[in-house]
Structure 1
């Protein structure tokens, strides 16, 4: 008898009951990054999945299917299922990890999203990529850049961009000190299928070029005292 389709949360909760939610969620993100590399990260994929029994490995594939279905929402896509699950079940607000509410992201996107093809959009503390997704609703043809000091957040953003057909780069790094750990480029293959490619600091636009460009455009105005 075929069982009813379960939600993303139900599947993840079932896996977490045995292994713990932090390990399951982190490994799930790693497996997706590897899967979308189109075979370029097979070693890490096998190292991660081999920790689990076959029924659990199948549950991971079911979780991906549920994730994709729920991300489409009403058909427009861009639903931050990963970020919602992370906030409610993994971080619980530790380290101040509360993401900007979706309605605020949508409002800011309407105020700031450029409409030109190839415009660069950056979120230097991207969390799960919710702000980039909001801007992607308005301009799918921009290039999206995100950075976060939390590895899971950077992975969530890369996966969110990839599954929604948005291209750019996501770096796991400290945006303040420019300390770099890892980055992923999201771009289409020759067949148009999105692919995630791990890149080094020497290839990372965010790490190499962003600090210099930000220095050009970001200026803190001189403070003046107001005397009453």
Structure 2
């Protein structure tokens, strides 16, 4: 098959399973700030920016005014109490293949830049072009994250229609569509049907199956 010009990746739920890494930091930060137990993490917040997630957790106990305080404290906890996320299948195979084929690729995530940097370093991943939530004025579902990444990789607007974006969330899938690129779903958060209804052109369980699809 003719390969796309470029591949853009979300991080959480596509490259890694980072639920425990993030939720443990939210839990400890929430406990420190409010001396209370945090609410369970709702699926509908998957892929959203940390500030929106902080606002949700604060709203559960009527403390919306302390949203920013919780956001910054969680950011501190995820660095000082860093838990290495679990690498998902196919990442090494996929990035090695793209490097060999000289196809540009990178990460655009709603996670913080420091978390991405720490995770990539600890897991020894081959990603050099990486953008986190601080790098955009508007996080996903705005298309800014993916447009910023694509341009950093050297792509022009005319190339966008030939770029694949791997996303596990409905938030990120919307961002990919708005960027004029091709959303590809990974079913770590949502079902095949949910991702396709949101706009994913193809859906795979992990990047391993996507890699096998491209290289068969």
Give the TM-score normalised by structure 1. Answer: 0.33
Of the two, which has the highest radius of gyration?
Answer: 1
Higher relative contact order (CA 8 A, sep 6+): 2
